[in-house]
Amino acid sequence: GATGRRLRGTQLGGGARSSSSATNGGGGGSARHLAATTSETKQNILIWEQAEKEDYIVNTQDLIKLGEVVGKGDKVKDEEAVMASARFLRAHLPPKIAKRIKELQSLPFPFQKDGGSFQEICGLYKESFLGVLASKVPTTLEEEAAFSEMIWQMKKNHLTVRQMVGEAMSNMRCTGSGEWVDQSGKLVYVDDADRESDFKVQNILRSFYNGRVGLRCLVEQHLMLRTGLLGQSFPGEEDDVCRVVWSRLRKAEKLSSMPPTILDTSCKLKTLVEISIADAKQALAEALEERRQSIHVQIEGYVEEQRAVVPEHFCIVLYEILSNAITATMEKHQPGALPPVIVTIGNSDGVAIKISDQGGGIFGDYESKVWKFTWSQRSPGVSATRQGLALSRVYAQLWG
């Protein structure tokens, strides 16, 4: 709207930079600037071309089918499956990465300050995009190994993206409507509502994270496949979150080997709930001790229920919601033993996991706001990145 445009103009400092300032410093500087600009233009053309291609969406049925046809002890077929997976990645990663770059670049100016984290994130994705695009399509196991090592390194480089997004928006928060304010409550940006659903910035962030999760799924799936079928992994893979969750699951359920997919087709949900409870309580242990409080998380319902899930994602969602439930209960009550948080496992087609607490609940007019990035009913600075519930929804909706 008009207000948003006025605010964006104010943020720009009254006008764009003079184009001549970039070429000051003599002919050498002009030549270097022209070369850099030309190179950047070519990169942007590549990004836009790839971003227009179809975006493959990871789905449960594809993972189930993959698990049914591999890992049968046929070395030749297993090697062929790994090679096919690498070629699939080589074809589908560039469009997926390019779309994430375009999404970040489409954020309004207040989110694109010079030297800000969003520019750093764009740079990180550009580097990965160009690296994948420049890589050979694997035709041998040696080329597959080199390609896989590159995407493993890419995944490691992207581990801090969520933190970087949080830092980029650390001085701003969403009020739950289209307004964004700084830590003092001063209005810094007014969003335009999207015709279809939500406000523009919320839709961009949701789309970015949805694509990022899908991107990570493809990379993790390939790395799990080559470990499960070829017994090969790279230094540090055992410490990756996906592998750590699977290792804990294997230990709890006494599984013999690492599966060739990120999907557990018959996972005991109670085990993942227990893992998530342990992680949430450990993360809040210091706060509980400082407040001289203790809390019990109780599991009820169909505790033997087994379903096909991606363990890492299931635990991420549960951890975020459990952490919120325990924190709210801590803040609501006095020192001592707190009322329990109750996790109820359902057995419907969709498998409902209900988490109940006595933390005071959510005010009625807040219900539509809790799923928005950076919104929080807590005071500014209390909640770290203010992305947890919004991200939990992204993970849940990815798998239907």
List, for residues 20-69, the tens digit of each pLDDT value: 333 344 445 555 554 555 688 888 889 999 999 888 887 777 777 766 66
pLDDT for 375: 76
Cβ-contact 322, 353 below 8 angstroms: no
3-class SS at 292? coil
Cβ-contact 125, 43 below 8 angstroms: no
pLDDT for 376: 72
pLDDT for 29: 58
pLDDT band at 216 (very low <50, low <70, confident <90, very high): very high
Query: If you average pLDDT over residues 146-153, what whole number do you get?
Result: 96
> Which residues are paired to 62 by β-bridges?
none
Task: Tell me the pTM.
Answer: 0.82
Q: Of 195, 188, 47, 215, give the one whose Cα is nearest residue 110.
A: 188
Q: How far apart are CA 342 and CA 333, in angstroms?
A: 16
Give the distance, in angstroms, between the CA of residue 5 and the centroid of all CA atoms in the same chain.
Answer: 30
Which sign, positive or negative, has the C-alpha torsion 321, 374, 394, 314? negative
Query: If you average pLDDT over residues 201-221, what whole number do you get?
Result: 91
Cα angle at 57 between 56 and 61, to 5 degrees? 120
Can you read off the two tokens belonging to residue 295? 């809390």
Q: How far apart are CA 322 and CA 326, in angstroms?
A: 6
Alpha carbon dihedral 227, 231, 237, 240, in 10-degree steps, equals: 50
Q: How far apart are CA 111 and CA 97, in angstroms?
A: 20
